[in-house]
Structure 1
Amino acid sequence: MTSETHEAFGRVGIWSSALHGSRTDGAGGQAIAEAVTELEELGYGTLWIGGSPSVEDAAAVVAATRTVTVATGILSIWDHSAEEVAARIAAIESAARGRFVLGLGVSHSPMVPQYTKPYSAMVAYLDALDAATPPVEPGHRVLAALGPKMLRLASGRTLGAHPYLVTAEHTAEARTALGPGALLAPELSVVLDTDVDRARTTARNMLAMYLQLPNYTANLLRLGFAESDFDDGGSIRLLDALFALGDAERVEARTREYLDAGADHVALQVLTAEEGGGGLPRAEWRELAGMFTGRL
């Protein structure tokens, strides 16, 4: 990865499914605009719009910011044609000025009726992005890659990989699969709560849905977890490997584990018990920014 790309992404970013700018009413849109403006001022390098966003969701965040990188985390290739995506990216480029990155993924078979041959489908989608007018260049797209085959595709055809729900050990394996030059930007879920039992409950509330999706469970099994680790919302061993639970210092230490394992950038998803794991946790984002001051 070039030094210019590293600088554009920063070492730490924010991942949030609450940043869907086109899915809210006027008041909700204003709240998102204020939140992303503050995130940019706090110094976060990249804002990841989570939860199968569209380019329209990203457009609202791009419009409300000036310098921060904005990325989809992750747009499903089954929901939007490559030609449609390329046209919509071209439409926001005057505001983005190169800041927008298209994060792509193949989603999951239980969620997509037409799901078939995901690797081949992604190759065809990338081919279509290359052929679009104007094209979406490899340097402005990343893949939600978990396994070795998709990671190699990410390295060869895109800027790199944005793995979701992974451990620091997976990050080390992903770095090897990607090679030294590709971007590696894993997501890390965070619960800022020093009550360990309550933090684990918040984490399990988020994790339960993902443990129903075979792409994630298969990846975790590859990493050495057992089926029993998926029971009751996740074992303590699984939670401790996938989440940063505790105070801001603990989050910083866990983030450092991913960076030391080979990540270039870590996208922090802050979960809160009061908001059911979602919402716009601006107080927590401020607290973490204070911990990462000088390192964002």
Structure 2
Amino acid sequence: MMATGARWGMTLPFSDRTLAGSRELVAELPKLGYTDVWSAEVNGADGFVPLALTAEWAPGVRLGSAIVPVSTRGPGLLAMSAATLADLAPGRFVLGIGASSPVIVEGWNAGEFVKPFARTRDTLRFLKAALSGEKVTERYETFEVRGFRLERAPETPPKIVLAALRPRMLHLAAAEADGAITNWLSPQDVRKVRAEIGPDVELIARLFVCVSEDAARVRELARRMLAGYLTVPAYAAFHEWLGRGEMLRPMREAWAAGDRKAALRAIPDELVDALVVHGDAATCRARIREYVENGLTTPVLAPIPVGEVPLERAVRDLAPVED
């Protein structure tokens, strides 16, 4: 099994089944060696219900949201949802919040994506106060709250971690939150991110994993995923900071010109192989351990089925056991 203290997370919902159909596999995760279950929130399941179900299906695992946006709910509603999860899983819930993107906030949720750093900082400060049971009356830079107090504050306030891709947000996560969440990076990139937050701050990352030895097929699928993310301004800036600006320029230019096929072709194999974990199960586990060795505290696996290995088998084969 893993070394004492190590974490090994799984993403829920699974990509091949409904949430309702996930109970048996979720219940199996603890005995497989998984310590964490982390949700996401884009345009599928929301970030809280899967964790509430997991609290019942797999007692004992740590639950985390990675992430819920700070601009698609009001501050008070976000505090209420977090308090509910903290009550269901005392000491085992971690609230992950982040700025999200203009498409999600404005295009899909009729919100306003303005001052994303300030909105995330202000929400963090509000939540720390509200989840501690304080009555909050405060004018923040990006919103104002008047007289909010949780009807029942959690006995154990949840830890709060921030989605952070570049130094300013990473520094905020290290200074005021309980950790940082990052995404779409290589094991070597972890070192640069870790240097911004210091050695003692928890660093969480979702790792997309394809248990498959058909590298060509994996790369074809992964290119579509990468193009969808790395053309988002925040991720484009992240990879500029990581030193991949010139590598990604042809893809961005083709995407901006509306030539999606050319954009996909412009993503080199070396980038896919750096950012997506693939190969047989033993190779994938070894690659995940590289992330940990370079400073990642909590790998959160997101298995992507590509055909020959069903997702259920991949979840079992990726469990953190010695070969």
TM-score band w.r.t. shorter chain: 0.7 to 0.9
TM value normalised by structure 2: 0.78
Q: What is aligned with 2:164?
A: 145
Counterpart of 2:280 (choices 225, 241, 247) is 247
- Residue 91 of structure 1 pairs with residue 78 of structure 2: no
For 1:285, the aligned partner's letter is: V
| Partner-residue secondary structure (3-state), 1:185 | strand
Q: What is aligned with 2:258?
A: none
Structure 2: distance between partners of 1:133 and 1:255: 34
Larger Rg computed on CA atoms: 2
Q: What is aligned with 1:3?
A: none
For 1:256, the aligned partner's letter is: R
List aligned pairs for 1:76-87, cutoff 5 A. 76-87=69-80
List aligned pairs for 1:167-178, cutoff 5 A. 167-178=186-197
Structure 1: distance between partners of 2:178 and 2:171: 11
Q: Judge conservation of contact 1:62–1:100 (CA < 8 Å) in 2.
A: no
Deviations along 1:230-280, whole A, 9 cap, x unmatched? 5316221210110111111221221122112111121111111349xxxx9
Which sections of structure 2, spanning at least 5 residues, go unmatched?
A: 107-111, 134-153, 253-262
Deviations along 1:35-87, whole A, 9 cap, x unmatched? 21111221101111123433233212222221001111110111122321222
Structure 1: distance between partners of 2:182 and 2:191: 12
Structure 1: distance between partners of 2:186 and 2:32: 26
CA-CA distance at 1:220 after TM superposition: 1.2
CA-CA distance at 1:176 after TM superposition: 1.0
Q: Compute the RMSD of aligned alpha carbons.
A: 2.5
In percent, how many aligned pairs have the same letter?
Answer: 30
- Residue 232 of structure 1 pairs with residue 264 of structure 2: yes
CA-CA distance at 1:161 after TM superposition: 0.8
| Partner-residue secondary structure (3-state), 1:112 | helix
- Residue 30 of structure 1 pairs with residue 30 of structure 2: no
Q: Measured at CA, do residues 229 and 255 of structure 1 come closer, stay the same or move farther in structure 2, by a change above 3 Å?
A: farther
Counterpart of 1:124 (choices 122, 125, 144) is 122
Structure 1: distance between partners of 2:316 and 2:199: 32
Counterpart of 2:230 (choices 204, 211, 217) is 211
Structure 2: distance between partners of 1:60 and 1:184: 25
Q: What is aligned with 1:11?
A: 7
Q: Measured at CA, do residues 249 and 167 of structure 1 come closer, stay the same or move farther in structure 2, by a change above 3 Å?
A: same
CA-CA distance at 1:190 after TM superposition: 0.8
- Residue 158 of structure 1 pairs with residue 177 of structure 2: yes
CA-CA distance at 1:16 after TM superposition: 3.7
Counterpart of 1:40 (choices 30, 34, 38) is 30
TM value normalised by structure 1: 0.84
Q: Judge conservation of contact 2:9–2:298 (CA < 8 Å) in 1.
A: yes
For 1:119, the aligned partner's letter is: F
| Partner-residue secondary structure (3-state), 2:127 | helix
Q: Measured at CA, do residues 159 and 123 of structure 1 come closer, stay the same or move farther in structure 2, by a change above 3 Å?
A: same
List aligned pairs for 1:100-119, cutoff 5 A. 100-113=93-106, 114-119=112-117
Structure 2: distance between partners of 1:145 and 1:244: 21
Structure 2: distance between partners of 1:72 and 1:133: 16
Counterpart of 1:260 (choices 284, 293, 298) is 293
Deviations along 1:115-141, whole A, 9 cap, x unmatched? 111111111101210221545888611
CA-CA distance at 1:294 after TM superposition: 5.6
Which sections of structure 1, spanning at least 5 residues, go unmatched?
A: 1-5
Question: How many matched pairs?
Answer: 275
Structure 2: distance between partners of 1:274 and 1:218: 33
| Farther-moved stretch of structure 1 (30-39 vs 241-250) | 30-39
Q: What is aligned with 2:259?
A: none
| Partner-residue secondary structure (3-state), 1:162 | strand
| Partner-residue secondary structure (3-state), 2:182 | coil
Q: What is aligned with 2:203?
A: 184
Structure 2: distance between partners of 1:138 and 1:148: 27
Structure 1: distance between partners of 2:22 and 2:160: 24
Q: Judge conservation of contact 2:75–2:126 (CA < 8 Å) in 1.
A: yes
Structure 2: distance between partners of 1:64 and 1:254: 29
| Partner-residue secondary structure (3-state), 1:180 | coil
CA-CA distance at 1:29 after TM superposition: 4.1
Structure 2: distance between partners of 1:88 and 1:134: 14
